Structure 1
């Protein structure tokens, strides 16, 4: 017999044998985790696996063991453990690949929703196992994996991430298109009104998101996988779906019905994100839907805008606004159309007022402006959510028809003049405002129109003249209303605009105190004589520079009763303010006369008259009949003042005249058969001719004030700049003056030339101007 032989195993073979034995043990238990996790793993087995991994990774045996006395023994020990950790990691990866091949093979028999159910079930089983394995292989993560990652080695991950990478590379990459196709079918079913299992889609989305691993840092995640494999096909399918649906719907339905449909679809898609999509898709999904549902049909929607405006369909306009606001520049053409529509509406409203003739009330004109503005302001607020650009379109339209309309053709400053007159009507006693709150609301409305007026200086002139009369005649509805209006004007135009108005109020207050002092002074003079005053008078001292009032345009000889009173007050005032001169504004004075010759029952009538009328009527205390020439001589009034005053007395049947037309040779007597329904009869009436003269004078002062303002602004600019091009100076003047009135370029040039003649400015070369110090 031949002698038997035996071969001893080498260290390398023994190490390999131990690796195989250890891995066989680990693989069996990993397989149980992967396939039977629901059955659980007992603690003894768990600790056995955990210990095996620990021992495997810390074994001092290397594939080639160096001699124990080798100087490099310690390093070799670590190197051996390192190689064993790497081998375990590799074996685990190979196992996962084999496992996923079986999962992939089994998926082939599933389609559509069945595939989704299979995918979700396997994904959950796989990720649950991955978490469990991550605990079992914790020592491998903590030592070998961490060291490899710290050294910057690529394609090394913790055990849980390794599971995800393997799923992505070995399974997901081969089935994601089929999975996504099944998802899109489900979503389309839901869009078509069918009920679906939304949790399936949500689970798929979460899976796709979980697979987004950062190749450079395994501790971080990205949305790259989700965006490429879910988001992109989802958005493409969404676009195709709504492209087709919207085209079909538009062909069979009205634009309004289509807008309702688009609104519903957009709400559904937004809700869909919250139900089962990733939030990151929201903007792109909305952009996609906007493109298909709105942008593709923009012309159709815009063409319907005018129809909706004409028929005042606020809800549908709001719907259109919300849709077109979602796309870039979607609303711009609508704003232009809206502006044109409002302008036409405003002009049409004023045309109706103009059709009434020249004798319309200022209230009718202002109400027409406010009605158009209020109507479309409401539309902007409700349908267009008060959007600033639509507000600007409304403002532009209102500015246009307020300043340039049929009534303004005769005079470009008609709007501010009529607005000032309407304001005067509101603030006079006898105004029909029910209470303070209603009056305040009307003043707010006045400021709405005022905002749009170009010629704010015209309003100021007329308003200040009318305010002066209200204050002088003490017929303001209330001081609170007057101060409220002035404060509104001050807020709109600044302190300078209302400075004189406020000074007028101060004068009135000072005059009240002065009258009180004068009354006390008179009481001292009368003493205990119980003498009665012939004339119960009140005086107002008005500062010349602040009140827009002119001296009387006629000489006048006051009656003796009045002369005595004004001489007494004059002495009192001179003692208080030495050196001041009083100019009596007779045309603004008024009073009351008791007509003892005619009575209502036993009570005599009271005539409310101007001082001129008072002087004329008092003459009849001395004569029963007075001729025109005699009356003119005794009162010293010129014909322009005397004739209109007489006409009022004749028309009111206070006087009888030998000829209805005043003039030389005509005689007058008191009408002793005078009767009136009122005990107090107002004869102090302004005739239209006087109103026209006053308006003409106001316009003249406006022109003069504008000239002075332009020159003051030009000098102020040139004083600050020293030198300036002619064109630049004109531009700066326009910018500084336009808040008061829109200056005309020829007027600016004319005033520049006037200042040159006065040696404020000189012309240099190259069309440059210089200030002369």
Structure 2
């Protein structure tokens, strides 16, 4: 015969029956034992329920409850002894079986004691049957010293086995940890989780040490990432979800945080990854390092140092310094390179400071003919305009306009003065003062031939453009001179305007002192010394000689033409000795100019915002100004406040009479 589950409904009886409490409890006690013995075929749930009901009804609830506690306790102690005696690896299987049996028994007992659970227990302040069963299992089975230690060790051994590649019974593990969680969060934590985290830290500490000694950084990170995923997977299968953050923190701290500097500075570490385009490893390092304190900051420090050092090596490369155009790339790679530059540019906060330096270097390239291609320069400016807007690039584009206008102007000048083509020629670049980098006006005495040409050009230009003024920037020009040395050897020398002024003095003199040269040319002292140093002290370019011979130019030196000058090249470029990098005063001056340029931008932004909003509080105004200007630079809140005060003084704004932090637009 097949067993069929019978559905029945238990109801309260309508009349009281006299009972013998001892006899009734004896029958119920026997039934509880039979339930634990899984021998329930001879039991009548209706009779058992009625007897338990009658005991509560006749005020014997205390006897019923205490009897239940004593009976269940006795049975659970027997189960504990049975588990303690279990041999070999079947301990967890037996624990799981006994736990399931206990839950089945508890369910049946709860149905029998339903009336006691509903009426007696709430009034007497006792523990409900369900919770009572859990408490008694915890106290008599799990907290048994032998079982507690053995259970923990068995679970930790399974975890270790799985970490070292063994296949374990995850379902069994899940049942055991669920049992511990059902018994209460503190039970799971005390009996398993705390020790699990400690053992895990020890495991990963030992593994990290071993990997550091034998693995490359990229391989270490792969294993660390894999371990992280394994632990997350382990939690999802058979641990409490709350354990995930705790165990991942252990892996992060032990494998990553504790080895942070070692990993970064390994021979195969961050710099090697950057140099060898190990993008996958770099991405993995970023994802793992961002999980620990100071991880990304350490990456930032090392990357910053590497980039600075790499840049320094590039700009200090002697071979490349001879011809800076060598830093250009092939035309095929130009667009790719410019896109990479723009990617870096987007990370700059002080974009207006970049603009200041870029404009200065672009000016030199345009004026000295050092651009690889105007099309390339324009392409980059278009990218800057797309990124930052027309206002950012208007002056840069104006520089190109000036160069084209200057070429047209020179063509017109020589068309109107055809006879000038037979003698010395002049090329003038007329620069709009507001467009080009600010330069102090420096002049010198030009040779008579050139001075005459300059005067004719000035007359022509001012005749074409009424109301304009020309200021000559003699420190920014170049010249090509034809020179004859010694035994008639001829060369064409490409020199600066200052160098031309000095060299042409020797057409009428064999020997000149420093003082005589200074008096004749009126070149500023610092520029003159640099000029003479490049003419007399640079090996293979020393078209002059000086006495006494020394490494520096002094005011008591005398100079004469080097008749023994030789070069395999007909055209010889004589460079100017200049500082290889910007000096601190120059940096401060650049920064000062940038700050000055920011002032009108900040004030214009404040006025524009207030004109549209009419009334706005201080914090929101500063936030809006910052938002609108962040494409160029991040304004200092203190600076914004200072300009607000200035606008209030000039009566563009006023403070609200009732709220001093509120500003009102006045125009």
Alpha-carbon distance, 1:671 to partner: 1.8
Which one of 647, 658, 682 corresponds to residue 533 of structure 2? 647
Provide the secondary structure at the position in 1 that maps to 2:506: helix
Distance 1:420 1:722 in 2: 51
Which piece of structure 1 moves more, 698-707 or 331-340?
331-340
Question: Is 1:701–2:593 an aligned residue pair?
Answer: yes
Alpha-carbon distance, 1:563 to partner: 1.7
For 1:198-347, list aligned pairs within 5 A.
Answer: 250-252=159-161, 255=163, 311-313=217-219, 315-316=222-223, 319=226
TM-score scaled by length of structure 1: 0.50
User: Once the two structures are superposed, what CA deviation does each residue of 1:613-649 show, in whole Å capped at 9, x if it has no partner?
Assistant: 1111101101112232332222122223222222222
Distance 1:593 1:430 in 2: 23
From the superposition, tell whether residues 340 and 634 of structure 1 become closer, same or farther in structure 2 (CA, over 3 Å). Answer: farther
From the superposition, tell whether residues 348 and 621 of structure 1 become closer, same or farther in structure 2 (CA, over 3 Å). Answer: farther
From the superposition, tell whether residues 533 and 697 of structure 1 become closer, same or farther in structure 2 (CA, over 3 Å). Answer: farther
Distance 1:337 1:514 in 2: 72
1:606 is matched with 492
Question: Is 1:638–2:524 an aligned residue pair?
Answer: yes
2:344 is matched with 449
Provide the secondary structure at the position in 1 that maps to 2:492: strand
Provide the secondary structure at the position in 1 that maps to 2:391: helix
Distance 1:678 1:431 in 2: 20
Distance 2:430 2:593 in 1: 23
Which one of 444, 447, 467 corresponds to residue 559 of structure 1? 447
For 1:75-90, list aligned pairs within 5 A.
Answer: none
Asked if 1 retains the 8 angstrom alpha-carbon contact of 2:530 and 2:576, the reply is no
Distance 2:301 2:554 in 1: 47
Which one of 623, 627, 636 corresponds to residue 513 of structure 2? 627
Alpha-carbon distance, 1:435 to partner: 1.8
Question: Is 1:379–2:281 an aligned residue pair?
Answer: yes
Distance 1:597 1:632 in 2: 24
Asked if 2 retains the 8 angstrom alpha-carbon contact of 1:657 and 1:667, the reply is yes
Distance 2:257 2:376 in 1: 36
Distance 1:697 1:418 in 2: 26
User: Once the two structures are superposed, what CA deviation does each residue of 1:393-451 show, in whole Å capped at 9, x if it has no partner?
Assistant: 9997599549976999xxxxx999999999xx899863155522344444344334333
Alpha-carbon distance, 1:380 to partner: 5.7
Asked if 1 retains the 8 angstrom alpha-carbon contact of 2:443 and 2:472, the reply is no
1:498 is matched with 393
Asked if 1 retains the 8 angstrom alpha-carbon contact of 2:444 and 2:521, the reply is yes
User: Once the two structures are superposed, what CA deviation does each residue of 1:665-685 show, in whole Å capped at 9, x if it has no partner?
Assistant: 543211222234554333232
Provide the secondary structure at the position in 2 that maps to 1:251: helix
User: Once the two structures are superposed, what CA deviation does each residue of 1:42-73 show, in whole Å capped at 9, x if it has no partner?
Assistant: xxxxxxxxxxxxxxxxxxxxxxxxxxxxxxxx
Asked if 2 retains the 8 angstrom alpha-carbon contact of 1:628 and 1:668, the reply is yes
Question: Is 1:472–2:348 an aligned residue pair?
Answer: no
Q: Which sections of structure 1, spanning at least 5 residues, go unmatched?
A: 1-100, 105-242, 266-295, 353-367, 409-413
1:617 is matched with 503
1:87 is matched with none
> Which structure has more RCO (C-alpha within 8 Å, separation ≥ 6)?
2
Alpha-carbon distance, 1:760 to partner: 2.8
2:652 is matched with 760
1:548 is matched with 437
Provide the secondary structure at the position in 1 that maps to 2:326: coil
Which one of 628, 638, 642 corresponds to residue 750 of structure 1? 642
Count residues in correspondence: 469
Structure exhibiting the larger radius of gyration computed from Cα positions = 1
From the superposition, tell whether residues 379 and 664 of structure 1 become closer, same or farther in structure 2 (CA, over 3 Å). Answer: closer
Distance 2:311 2:666 in 1: 38
Asked if 2 retains the 8 angstrom alpha-carbon contact of 1:615 and 1:635, the reply is yes
Distance 1:626 1:754 in 2: 57
TM-score scaled by length of structure 2: 0.57
Provide the secondary structure at the position in 1 that maps to 2:484: strand
Alpha-carbon distance, 1:611 to partner: 0.4
2:470 is matched with 582
Which one of 661, 669, 675 corresponds to residue 560 of structure 2? 669
User: Once the two structures are superposed, what CA deviation does each residue of 1:567-594 show, in whole Å capped at 9, x if it has no partner?
Assistant: 3333333343333222222111011212
Asked if 1 retains the 8 angstrom alpha-carbon contact of 2:534 and 2:577, the reply is no
2:405 is matched with 510
Provide the secondary structure at the position in 1 that maps to 2:445: coil
Asked if 1 retains the 8 angstrom alpha-carbon contact of 2:647 and 2:653, the reply is yes
Question: Is 1:535–2:405 an aligned residue pair?
Answer: no
Asked if 2 retains the 8 angstrom alpha-carbon contact of 1:648 and 1:683, the reply is yes
1:67 is matched with none
1:573 is matched with 461
Question: Is 1:688–2:576 an aligned residue pair?
Answer: no
Distance 2:345 2:484 in 1: 49
Asked if 2 retains the 8 angstrom alpha-carbon contact of 1:755 and 1:761, the reply is yes
Distance 1:377 1:388 in 2: 14
Asked if 1 retains the 8 angstrom alpha-carbon contact of 2:225 and 2:288, the reply is no
1:143 is matched with none
Asked if 1 retains the 8 angstrom alpha-carbon contact of 2:256 and 2:288, the reply is no
